[in-house]
C-alpha cells in the first residue's frame, strides 16, 4: 500500500498502474510529463510516514487482519509504503482485502494523527499478488522482514515492549 503522492506514475521509481499491475509485467517507464501531470493533480503534499507511525502500523496490522478474518503472516512499514502478507479466503479477491486494509489502517492512524479535511494516507491504487508456491512465499518473508521498522520482531509476532 503506497502512501499518498510518494510514487507518482512516470517518476524514476518503480511504479504500476492498471495496465502494469500483473506479475511479470514491467514497471512503468520514466515519463516526466506524466509525473508532472500527476503532481499537478495532487490536492495536498505527499504523505511520508514517521518512524513512530511505521511502528504503529506494524503493530496494528495483525489486529486489522484478525478483524477482516485473514491470517496475518508479516508486514513492513516504510516511509512511503506498507507490505502486508496474509492469507485470505480464495473466494475473496485480494483487491477487496487491500481496500479494507487501507481503510482500517488509515482510520487507526487518523485516530492518533489527525489529517486535515480531504486528506488521505494512501494512494488510490496498489498491487495485491497471490502467493503461488513456497519459494515465492519464502522470498516474500525475507523481503518484508528486511524492510521492517521494528526489525526485532520475528515471524509476525511484534517485539515485546
Q: Which of 49, 127, 125 is nearest to 84 (CA)?
A: 127
Residue 23's pLDDT is: 58
How far is 29 from 12, CA to CA, in rounded Å? 8
Residue 108's pLDDT is: 98
Residue 79's pLDDT is: 93
How far is 108 from 97, CA to CA, in rounded Å? 16
How far is 124 from 99, CA to CA, in rounded Å? 9
Residue 98's pLDDT is: 92
Residue 13's pLDDT is: 60
Does the 48-147 domain belong in CATH 3.30.70.1290? yes
Kindly list the distances between the CA atom of residue 4 and the CA atoms of 47, 71, 91, 156, in Å, as whole numbers in the listed order: 5, 26, 29, 26
Q: What is the pLDDT of residues 122-133, one digit of tens each?
A: 988 777 888 889
Q: What is the pLDDT of residues 33-78, one digit of tens each?
A: 777 777 777 788 889 999 999 999 999 999 999 999 999 999 999 9
pTM (2 d.p.):
0.77
Instruction: Check pLDDT > 60 for residue 161.
Output: no
- If phi > 0 it is left, if psi is from -120 to 50 it is alpha, else beta; for residue 156 that is left
Residue 29's pLDDT is: 63
Q: What is the pLDDT of residues 133-158, one digit of tens each?
A: 999 999 999 999 998 887 644 444 44
Residue 154's pLDDT is: 43
Q: What angle do CA 95, 99, 105 make, to 5 degrees?
A: 140
Amino acid at each position: 500500500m503506497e502512501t499518498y503522492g510518494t510514487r507518482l506514475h512516470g517518476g524514476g521509481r518503480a511504479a504500476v498502474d492498471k495496465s502494469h499491475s500483473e506479475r511479470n509485467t514491467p514497471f512503468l517507464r520514466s515519463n516526466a510529463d506524466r509525473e508532472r501531470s500527476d503532481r499537478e493533480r495532487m490536492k495536498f503534499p505527499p504523505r511520508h510516514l514517521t518512524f513512530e507511525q511505521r511502528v504503529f502500523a506494524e503493530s496494528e496490522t495483525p489486529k486489522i487482519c484478525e478483524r477482516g478474518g485473514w491470517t496475518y503472516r508479516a508486514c513492513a512499514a516504510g516511509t512511503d509504503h506498507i507490505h502486508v502478507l496474509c492469507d485470505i479466503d480464495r473466494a475473496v479477491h485480494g483487491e477487496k482485502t487491500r481496500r479494507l486494509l487501507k481503510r482500517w489502517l488509515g482510520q487507526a492512524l487518523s485516530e492518533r494523527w489527525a489529517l486535515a479535511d480531504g486528506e488521505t494516507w494512501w494512494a488510490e491504487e496498489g498491487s495485491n499478488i497471490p502467493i503461488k508456491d513456497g519459494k515465492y512465499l519464502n522470498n516474500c518473508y525475507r523481503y518484508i522482514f528486511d524492510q521492517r521498522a521494528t526489525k526485532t520482531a520475528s515471524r509476525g509476532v511484534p517485539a515485546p515492549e
